[in-house]
């Protein structure tokens, strides 16, 4: 039995296929917003299914979360959209980020390479 990040990745992907949630792509974008003297970070995860449907989850240091599905965006100030993202994709936002950085390790720490 394997241990470590690759094992976690394989387990997560196998879990998606068992649930019938085929994944075509995960993208992670990060940035900041607000004034330059006091910026707040944000992370956006775009989960694209094999049928072309995208589910986008954005969490912000300003305390809000956005979930966009089929062009409709919902905003909240609690964890309810995090739960909905997991319901739609089969992954928590943290697990989706983990898979992305496992598949694209250069983006995790470019100085290391």
Q: What is the pLDDT of residues 62-91, one digit of tens each?
A: 889 999 998 899 999 988 899 999 999 888
Give CA–CA dist 84/98, Å, rounded: 18
- Read off the pLDDT of each residue in 89-107 and give the average, rounded to a whole number: 81
Place 102 in a pLDDT band, splitting at 50, 70 and 90. Answer: confident
Reported as half-sphere exposure (CB side, CA atoms, 13 A), residue 98 has a value of 15
Q: Are 68 and 56 in contact (CB under 8 A)?
A: yes
- For residue 49, pLDDT over 60 is answered with yes
- For residue 106, pLDDT over 90 is answered with no
Tell me the H-state helices in the chain: 5-18, 80-89, 93-103, 105-108
Report pLDDT for 57: 96
Instruction: Specify the residue for token string 């966009």.
Output: 68
- For residue 26, pLDDT over 80 is answered with yes
């Amino acid at each position: 039995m394997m241990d470590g990040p690759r094992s976690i990745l394989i387990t997560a992907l196998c879990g998606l296929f068992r649930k019938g949630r085929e994944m075509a792509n995960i993208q992670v974008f990060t940035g900041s917003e607000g004034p330059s003297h006091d910026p707040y970070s944000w992370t956006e995860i775009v989960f694209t299914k094999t049928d072309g449907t995208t589910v986008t989850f954005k969490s912000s240091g300003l305390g809000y979360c956005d979930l966009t599905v089929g062009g409709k965006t919902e905003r909240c100030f609690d964890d309810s959209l995090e739960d909905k993202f997991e319901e739609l994709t089969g992954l928590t936002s943290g697990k989706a980020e983990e898979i992305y950085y496992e598949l694209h390790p250069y983006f995790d720490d470019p100085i290391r390479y």
